[in-house]
Amino acid sequence: MTWIARAADETLAELLAGDVRLVTVHGLGGSGASSLVRRALHKRPHLVADLRGCTSPTEIRARLPSARRGLIFVDDAHTPHHARAAVARLSRERGVRVVVAGRGPLGLEGEALVPVAALDPEESRALLSAELRRLGAPALGASALVDALDGWPLALRGVAASVRVLGTEAVARRGVLESAIDEPCREVLESLFGAMSEPERSCARCCSRARPRASR
């Protein structure tokens, strides 16, 4: 997978070089938080607890490793209020350091935070171009994509994959956003929607039906 260097890379590297016991790397679904942690840990011995699909504290506890020593990567903690208690206990164990990738801070004492922001336009263009080259896909004008996808790495990769399979003309006919929302993106959006309260879901439904006014 193509990777674009970001400010959060340096922040996480500095924290891992220190003695912080708990680090949470957080951002919107598809922002690249998990990828950033995997990149930082790829040469470090560590255990992984993948919380994908967990919807309760009981399921989360079952996913945590039984051998609790050294560095542990807790991935996809998309419901921080469910993961909080389990991660708190884990980070207090002797000889354990925890790095969490999720949608938001856990709110625990001593937690160091690494926010993952959206890509800026230059980073977005670089990622899209690099992904197209990696996939052997034809070049594609990036300005409209950068504006429409608002620096969302997963969606930019989705567009690049669509261009490889369908070609630039078909992607242009389908529209930028439809081409971007491939299966991984749909999974992220569905998990975000599932974690919302009912009032938040109602608001999201209204926003999805809204249409921007034509400029005059």
Q: What is the pLDDT of residues 45-78, one digit of tens each?
A: 999 999 988 878 889 888 988 777 899 999 988 7
Q: Sorting pLDDT into bands at 50, 70 and 90, what band is 129?
A: confident
**Is 216's pLDDT higher than 50?**
no
When mean pLDDT is compared across 107-111, 120-124, 210-214, the lowest value belongs to 210-214
Count other C-beta atoms under 10 Å from residue 7's C-beta.
Answer: 11
Phi–psi pair at 65, nearest 5 degrees: -65, 145
Residue 146 has what pLDDT? 64
Q: Sorting pLDDT into bands at 50, 70 and 90, what band is 9?
A: very high
Residue 66 has what pLDDT? 79
Tokens 């970001």 belong to 6
Gap between the Cα atoms of 31 and 28, Å rounded? 5
The one-letter amino acid code at 4 reads: I
Q: Sorting pLDDT into bands at 50, 70 and 90, what band is 5?
A: confident
What is the Cα gyration radius of the chain? 19
- For residue 61, what are the contacts with CB-CB under 8 A and spacing of at least 6? 86
Residue 154 has what pLDDT? 79
**Is 161's pLDDT higher than 70?**
yes
Q: Sorting pLDDT into bands at 50, 70 and 90, what band is 8?
A: very high
Higher pLDDT, 206 or 164: 164
Residue 73 has what pLDDT? 96
Higher pLDDT, 182 or 129: 129
**Is 10's pLDDT higher than 80?**
yes
- For residue 49, what are the contacts with CB-CB under 8 A and spacing of at least 6? 63, 64, 65, 72, 73, 74, 75
